[in-house]
Structures are given as C-alpha cells and as structure tokens.
Structure 1
Amino acid sequence: MAQPAKTEEPATFVDYQGITRVRGAEYVLPICVGTVGFWLGKKASEEKSHRWTVYVRGPRGMDISHAVHSVTFRLHPSFTDPERVLTSAPFELTEMGWGEFDIVVVVRFSLDSHGGEIEMTRRLKLYSEENSTQSTKKPVIREQYEEIVFSEPPVDFYKRVTSMKVGSAPESEITPHLPQYDEQHDLEKIRAARMRVASSLKKKLEGKAAGR
C-alpha cells in the first residue's frame, strides 16, 4: 500500500528576538484604504453636509481579519472621541461633517505575525475634483491599493495563513460603491505598490536589529 507523500517542512531560523521564522518566504496581504463621501442633498446642513466612511478592506471583498488584529482611525480633534479602534470586520467608520481633513489609519496585525503595525495618512475627500455639481447618488470615492509584505514571517503565522481558505468580509452599505478589481488590474496595482512600499515591516525589523 502506497504511503502518503510527506509534506516538506519549510527551512526556518531563529531571529534575534527568539522568534522562529521561515527562511526566504514572503506572505503578501493586499489591502485597500480609502474614504467614501455622500452629499446629503436637501438634508444637508451647514455643519453636516456629508455622510462619509473611512475604511480598510481587502480587494474583491476579501476578508483580511485573518491577518489584521485591529484598525485605529484617528480623526480631526474636533470630533468627540477622535480615536476609534475597530477589532472586527468590516473595518470601517462612518461619521457626518462638512470638511475635508487627514485621517491617520493604524493597522495592527495578528499577534502571531509579530509584525506590529503600520501607520498611514489618508485625506478624506467630500468634493469631486472632476465635477463641481454634487449628487446624492454618486459618492466621492478615494481609494488606494497597498501591499503589505511579511518577509520571512514567523512559522506559526505562515503555516496558518497559507493553509486556510480566506472568505469574504461582511458587506456594508458602502460595498456596492467600492471599486472593483480584476486580475490584470491587481497585477498593475501590485507593481505600483511594490515600488511605493517595499516592505515597511522588514525595515522596522532591520531598525530594531540595528538598535540592539
């Protein structure tokens, strides 16, 4: 009787922190970070002219909670409780207001990734640069595709995320308005993202190693 083939274990090494990592491996987590702004039309007031949402999501509706522990949105100080922390998908926050401002987005990764977090800033867009006429039916969307690269990730994290089937994220009211991605579009975005963000996590680890 034939014996099942043995699965070859990946080559590993122990880093300076005592973490066992997979040598030469990469795990890539694509994410989309953006804002959606809806003009309220007749319901608009001077202080509340728009309803808007800031979000972190996976392309094509992919769930990212297998690798993301939480997302923090830091709003303008004029908001009540300007720092909001979300620990489950969908990672999105909806508010109302009238002005555009920068939102700090902090993505913290799952504990077994030992990857810490990344911080980025996104501009809330409520007014279209292409059309001065506002519409309640056509929201203003500003989204950027990013690629988070876990270089030589911890072995437990790598085995978990590469063996599991990633499902779909919970839908929300903004889902029908979000950009759609096809395979070719993803490849183009991935190439652009690799040029913008080589690997912030690897740089952090190298920085820690240099500071030993």
Structure 2
Amino acid sequence: MAPPAGKRVKGVQVFRPFVYGTTARPFDEKTNPKPPGVPDDHTHSWMVFVKGIDDVDVTYWLRRVQFKLHESIPNHVRMIEGEKGKPFQIHETGWGEFEITIKLYYVPESGEKPQTLYHHLRLHPYGRTEEEKETMRLNGGEVISWVYEEQIFNEPYEAFYDVLTSGALPIPGAAASKAGGKGKGSAKGKEQEAQRSEGGVLERSAMIPMTNRPGQPFSRETEQLEVKKLQEAMMKVQEMTKKMAVELEKKNQRMQELRAESVKTA
C-alpha cells in the first residue's frame, strides 16, 4: 500500500486503548442450550473479538480485522470489516482450545502495515489461584480471557493525525439529545459534556474509565488493584529472600564449624 500524501508529525506519539480476547460458555440445557446442527462433540459456545474500551467505536483508526482459527473449523480464516459502533467479532462452537491469530488492518490514512496479535482460546476455568478458578465456575462457567492493549502510532502522517485527534465524540445514547438553545444543547454545553469528569470513555480519546462497570473490567480501579497485587508480591519475595539469606548464612557457619572440627581431628 502506497503511503498517504503529506508529512509525518515528528516527535509525536498517539495511543488508542482497545480490548481483544475470547469469552466461552459450556453448553447447558437451561442457561446455554446447544443450537440445532451443532456437532455432538462440541461442548462450548465461544466468541473472539476486538473492540474499544467501554465499547466505544474504533473504526476510525481500525478498518478490518482478520481472525485465523483452527484449521479444523470451516472457513477458518475470516475477515471482518469495520462497522461504526460495532466490535469486530466471531461466534463459534467447539470442544478444544487453540491459538487464534488476530491481524489488525488500519484505515488508509494511517499508511501503517497490519499488526499481528496472538490469543489462546480458553474454554475451561483458569487463574493464578484456585479461588479465581472457582469464581469462573460459579459464574455459570463463563470463561473470560480478555487483554487490554494500547495501539501506539509513532509520528503518524498529518492526515491520520487529524483523524486520530479530531475531537472526542460522545458515546451514542450517553449525551443528552436536546435541540438548540442554551445549556447542554448548545455548543458550550456539548463541550462540557465531552469533558466527563467521572472518567467515562469518549470516542477518539485515550481515556479509560475510573471504575469498573458490568461487562467492562478495565479501568483505573483495576489498574490500581493490579499495582497493589504486584507490590504485595514484591514484599513477599523480599521476605522470602531475607529468610533464604539467613538460612544460607547459618549453613555457611555450620560448614565452617565442620571444617574446623575436621582439621582438629586430622
């Protein structure tokens, strides 16, 4: 693809957050019945997707996404074209886990080559602890394997820079739809609406929510919890290191005592 006309914006980085991953659920007669025509050996329904944080539109910078599934699945290489306000996603059924190749194709203004991501489809509960696994089992067996990612555009072309930074657009249905006049319907009111203080995400912005919401696990709150877990883990490692150093010192002293005794008896 020929690069777009214009110069690059030197010394500038623009990043846009997004989420990709899979969600799987075991078939169950009451909560997730198996659709007609699904093979008998298929045990789960699952979905793979790429979407914006808080479900905002990402099609202004992401044009299409290619999903490469396991070769045993019919039509295993699928290209999903972007539709404004909709995620790039595929729904399937199966019985086994495998690696999915996800290829991102950007809009023509970007002049960027496609990027490839890899994601492992998870059908069964997993986690760092048994408690995390049990939480998935109690949640109707739904297995969520999502990844937060930030797409970084280094020194984008001027035309693409304009596309990326043309202003935050309200989430459909989130902004008040009052016509003309003063207040929220006015230009100033709309500008104030776009500057949402609670941390809600707006299109063409790099913000993420301040707190978690149902179906939206990525937020500043989640980030802080992960930082806290890392800090606690580091403290445990430091304590273990100190204990090992003390034990090692005791062993060295004992070795020196044994050597001294050996010399005396020689």
TM superposition score normalised by structure 2 = 0.56
Distance of 1:104 and 1:68 partners within structure 2: 17
Give the number of aligned pairs.
169
Q: Which amino acid aligns with 1:163?
A: S
Tell me whether 1:156 sits opposite 2:153 in the alignment.
no
Show structure 1 runs of 5+ residues with no match. Answer: 1-15, 170-175, 190-212
Counterpart CA distance in 2 for 1:186 and 1:58 is 17
Q: In the TM superposition, what is the alpha-carbon distance from 1:84 to its structure 2 partner? A: 0.7
The verdict on how the C-alpha distance between 1:94 and 1:182 changes in structure 2, with shifts beyond 3 A counting, is: same
Determine the structure 1 residue equivalent to 2:215. Answer: 178
Checking the alignment, whether the CA contact within 8 Å between 1:29 and 1:149 is kept in structure 2 is yes
Paired letter, 1:84: R
- Structural mapping, 1:8-19, within 5 Å: 19=6
Q: Runs in 1 of length 4+ with deviation above 6 angstroms?
A: none
| Residues 26-37 of structure 1: pairs in structure 2 closer than 5 A | 26-37=13-24
Q: Residues 13 and 152 of structure 2 are in contact (CA less than 8 Å); yes or no, is this contact kept in structure 1?
A: yes
1:167–1:85 distance in 2 versus 1, CA, 3 Å: farther
Q: 1:138 to 1:21 in 2, by over 3 A?
A: same
Number of the residue aligned with 2:46: 52
CA distance in 1, matches of 2:25, 2:218: 22
CA drift at 1:131: 3.3
Matched with 2:60 is: 66
Secondary structure of residue in 1 paired with 2:140: coil
Code of the residue aligned with 2:22 in structure 1: it is T
Query: 128-137 vs 68-77, which deviates more?
Result: 128-137
Return the offset for 1:35.
0.2
Cross-structure match for 2:259: none
Alignment match of 1:119 (pick from 107, 116, 120): 116
Of 100, 106, 109, the residue aligned with 1:109 is 106
Structure (1 or 2) with the larger CA radius of gyration: 2
Whether 2:146 is the aligned partner of 1:143: answer yes
Q: Which runs of 5+ in 2 are unaligned?
A: 127-132, 173-212, 227-266
1:86 is the counterpart of 2:80: yes
TM-score by length of 1: 0.70
CA distance in structure 2 between the aligned counterparts of 1:47 and 1:103, rounded to whole angstroms: 21
Question: 1:60-116 CA distances to partner (integer Å, 9 max, x unpaired)?
Answer: 222111100100100000011100111123201000111111100001111101112
Q: Deviations over 1:126-151 (max 9, x none)?
A: 10021398568341000111111101
The question of 1:38 aligning with 2:32 is answered no
The answer (yes or no) to whether the contact 1:102–1:124 under 8 Å persists in 2 is: yes
Computed over aligned residues only, the root mean square deviation of the Cα atoms, in angstroms, reads: 3.0
- Answer yes or no: is the 8 Å Cα contact 2:4–2:108 preserved in 1: no
Q: For residues 78 and 110 of structure 1, what CA distance do their matches in structure 2 show?
A: 31
Counterpart among 130, 134, 139 of residue 131 in structure 1 = 134
Asked whether 1:20 is paired with 2:57, we answer no
C-alpha distance in 1 between matches for 2:74 and 2:50: 21
User: Percent of counterpart pairs with the same letter?
Assistant: 25
Structure 1 residue aligned with 2:235: none
8 Å contact from structure 1 (residues 39, 134) kept in 2: no
In 2, Cα distance between the equivalents of 1:177 and 1:127? 21
What amino acid does structure 2 have at the position aligned with 1:36? T
Residues 1:160 and 1:103: Cα distance change in structure 2 (over 3 Å): same
